[in-house]
Amino acid sequence: MKMEAKNIHLNYRQDTALQNISFQLDGNKIYGLLGRNGAGKTSLLSIIASFRQQTAGTLEILGRVPFENAEVMQQVIFAYNKDYKEESDKVKNLLQGIAKYRPNFDMNYAEHLLVRFQIPKDKKMQQLSKGMQAAVDATIGLASNAPLTIFDEIYAGMDASTRTIFYEELLKSQERFPRMVLMSTHLVSEMEYLFDEVLILHKGTMVLHEEYDELISKGVTVTGSAGDVDAFVQDMRQLNTKQLGGTKAVMVYGHLSEQQYKDAAKRGLEIGPIALQDLFIHLTEGGND
């Protein structure tokens, strides 16, 4: 699967929701789309899923414009928390209806997921709790086996155990049927282990797109006595500082050279990894409140 966005803008009347969004995604990987409330995640995913059209710029999926292109849209599933209050269909009938239009839909797997999520398949959708409805949305997203699978904050309403089942099943089904998965979230620390690549949106612009391993390897946390830490990090890009008594931990962004590792060891400083959550907070702080 391949996707390319060039200079996408989206306005809602006079408000700008997305500006200058460009990226290329290539491969059957899990992409984490991170952003705070109102960053533009749903807006961007809705354009990718052809639920709405951008104001300017181009989007291509497999080299074609997806909007109103049935052939491309067959390959895409957009799973999000739907409103089922008017939905009197039973769970099993809803799934059967979806399976008719989805060539890769795996009903056996969907039933397995319903058992794992403890969803009674003979119950009407409108009678399920919010978390159970979200689990049905996740089931649809996973069992559709669509080459481009989009989950928009699908976990909302799910309890911690249900979310864990969802993450496990996502990884298992991705192994069986590799696909491009785009997943928006602000539960960064809980979900970061799922991501192959990370995209961070902030106030409608893309502030970062990198491979997860590369991203994590780029930053380090330097811990030790405050004076030594300050001297060591003085010329580095500092992201975050914590101090407890005389001990200080500073998160810095950038690769350390071999010499810097040696210097750190000499000064008795500890070098540890950074957390994506810290980087996310740093890159998206300010302006939204």
Ligand X SMILES: Nc1ncnc2c1ncn2[C@@H]1O[C@H](COP(=O)(O)OP(=O)(O)OP(=O)(O)O)[C@@H](O)[C@H]1O
Residues in contact with ligand X by CB under 6 A are: 12, 15, 17, 35, 37-43, 153, 186
**HSE of 111 in the Cβ direction (CA atoms, 13 Å)?**
7
Buried b / exposed e over 71-89, threshold 16 CB at 10 Å, is ebbebbbbbbbeebeebee
Tell me which residue of 277, 279, 229, 284 sits closest to 254, measured CA to CA.
279
CB 182 within 8 A of CB 14: no
> Which of residues 81 and 223 has its CB atom nearest to ligand X in the complex?
81
Q: Which residues are CB-neighbours of 182 under 8 A, at least 6 positions away? A: 25, 31, 33, 45, 48, 148, 149, 150, 151
Least distance between ligand X and beta carbon 153 (Å): 6
**HSE of 191 in the Cβ direction (CA atoms, 13 Å)?**
26
> Which of residues 35 and 224 has its CB atom nearest to ligand X in the complex?
35
Least distance between ligand X and beta carbon 226 (Å): 37
3-class DSSP state for residue 220? strand
Least distance between ligand X and beta carbon 22 (Å): 17
> Which of residues 43 and 221 has its CB atom nearest to ligand X in the complex?
43
> Which of residues 47 and 114 has its CB atom nearest to ligand X in the complex?
47
> Which of residues 3 and 21 has its CB atom nearest to ligand X in the complex?
21
Least distance between ligand X and beta carbon 40 (Å): 4
Least distance between ligand X and beta carbon 15 (Å): 5
Report the Cα 45 to chain-centroid distance in Å.
11
Provide the token pair at 222.
Answer: 């330097």
